[in-house]
Every structure is written in structure tokens, then in C-alpha cells.
Amino acid sequence: MISFSLIVLGLSLCFLGARATDPAEKPGSCPLDVDYPRCDSVNAKNQDNGCQKDSDCEGDRKCCFSGCQKQCLLPLKAKLDPCPSYDPSICAVILLPPGNCHMDNQCQGTERCCFYCVDYYCRRTVIEN
């Protein structure tokens, strides 16, 4: 008779196999949703251009949620250049606005979300392409 623990182990392995990542997943990350139309303003014609997974998209495009549906979009490339250094002694004499980011993908182009004095800001990286 098969023990209960062997049944649980077998079911767990099946579940893990089903959750494996799609081998066709493309590199890069999806851009954040910032400006997108209201869902009720998207017409049925645009609904046909959706996707379900990266392999549904041509070239380097990824299947990303954008507004009311998934669409094939160009991915963000990883930002690997280091954040610029700063002199902490100037932090006491300058007044800075609240930070404007929490993650690199909230910053434009090659800018990164870097700590500067008291908060995180989009800043130009040390090495720009």
C-alpha cells in the first residue's frame, strides 16, 4: 500500500513541473504601465492584437500587460551601469524634493533609480551608452 507521504510527494512533483517557466520566455522585463487608455475606450479591433505568452510575439518583443490587455511590447534592457557616487556632506546643505522612483524600470533610458542623500531618484549612470 502506498503511503500518504509518497502520494503527497508525487502530487508536489507534478505541480512543480506544471509551474516550470515557459522555455520560450524572452529576456528583459516589461515596461511599467504608466499612460494607458481606459478599458472602456479600447475598441474590439485592438483586442485582437493581444498575446498570451512571449512566443506569441515577433522578434524581441515580450507579451506584457498594458492597460486592459496583454500586448507585444519591446522589453526594457537590464540596467547594469553603476549609480554615481556623491559626497554625503552636501546632503545637509541642499534641499531635495521627494524621491521619484523605487525601481530602475521607473527611470527613462539608461538612468537608474539610485540613493542620493535621503531618498531614491532617477540619475544618470556612471557609464552611458
So where are the chain's domains? Answer: 21-73, 88-123
**Which of the residue ranges 12-21, 54-63, 68-77, 107-116 would you say has the lowest mean pLDDT?**
12-21
What span, in angstroms and rounded, lies between the C-alpha atoms of 68 and 63? 13
Sign, CA torsion 47/52/53/55: negative
Strand partners, 55: none
What span, in angstroms and rounded, lies between the C-alpha atoms of 38 and 68? 7
Residue with more model confidence, 46 or 77: 77
What percentage of the chain exceeds 90 in pLDDT?
A: 21
Decide if domain 21-73 falls under CATH 3.20.20.70: no
**pLDDT tens digits along 29-68:** 787 765 555 565 554 444 556 899 999 999 988 898 877 7
pLDDT at res. 35: 53
- The yes-or-no verdict on residue 86 having pLDDT over 50 is yes
